Amino acid sequence: MARSGITKHDVEKARQTLMSKGLNPSIDAIRVELGNTGSKTTISRYLKDIESEDSVRLDDEALLSSGIKELIAKLAAKLHQEAHDIVKQSESTHKATVDELKVSNRELMETEKVKSQKLESAKSEIEILKSEITKSKEHATEVESKLLNEQSETQKLQAVLAEKDSQIVTLKDNHQHARDSLVHYRESVKVQREQEQRQHEQQIQQLQSELRQLNQTLVIKQTDITQLNKDNSRLVTELRAVQKDNHKLEDKVKELCKITDNLKQELNQTLLKLERTENEKAETAKLRTTLDQKLVLESKKIRDLELENTKLETELRLLKDSAKSGKS
């Protein structure tokens, strides 16, 4: 709620507050500073009185000695120059630091992007190689299984041939034994001998037929064995080639894994560097805040010196007025 009954002191205080903020001490601004209190006519009257007194004080500056005025002027100029140099140097340093950090940040982001692309490509190639290794191992397993089956079949055929050879030898021995018996018992057992001979001949023919079939089968099996041996040699060669390719692929996978580890290490270093850059940015911002605070303090010192100067001028004027009164 607005209060009434403002004084000249209130107006003067509001005017000084606005001027210290670098604002124009107009009637409306002073009224707002006073909390929207007082009429514009009253504020205008008090403001004219204050400005009149200020003009009198400025006229009284002629009473100051040149040494004091020069000292005050030099002091104010020096303070303004120091504050200006500090602000300029701070802005220059800050700008250079910010530019350098921006360039470094862009380089780090580009490097990180390239390394991420390389890492993704390496991962893709590793997956392809792993798939090829799996297929090669499956093919090698299939070849080994087929080779074992062929070897087992070959062993079975050889066992059958050995058994048939044994039967043929036995039959020949039996046949020879029968012929020898027939010679001794030809007369007595001619009919029986002929019958047995026919039987034996039939058996022999049958066995010879079986032998021919077995020989044909043996030839076929030998051909099959030869082909199997060729296939076996070819499969062994393929197996060795596959194993060799597997070794190469495994070496390549190891190399790619090593490259991937190196890329991960470089990426971690890049992230650490980026984190340090962010910390440096924070330190720069903190330094700028400190410099801004120092600038505010220097500005406050300048205002204090100006107020002190005004106070000295007032005291000097009062002393001079007192001296004049004493002479009178």
DSSP string covering 175-209, please?
HHHHHHHHHHTTTTTHHHHHHHHHHHHHHHHHHHH
What pLDDT was estimated at residue 27?
A: 93
Contact 161, 214 (CB under 8 A): yes
Enter the tokens of residue 274: 């980026």
Q: What is the pTM of this model?
A: 0.28
CA 145-146-152 angle, 5° bins: 90
d(CA 148, CA 138): 15
CA distance 139 to 146: 11
Give CA–CA dist 213/161, Å, rounded. Answer: 11
Per DSSP, helices labelled H in 37-65 are 40-59
Q: What is the pLDDT of residue 41?
A: 93
pLDDT tens for residues 12-63? 999 999 989 888 889 999 999 999 988 999 999 999 998 887 765 544 455 4
Q: What is the pLDDT of residues 101-156, one digit of tens each?
A: 888 888 888 888 888 888 888 788 888 878 887 887 787 688 778 778 877 877 88
For residue 232, the tally of other CB atoms under 10 A from its CB is: 17
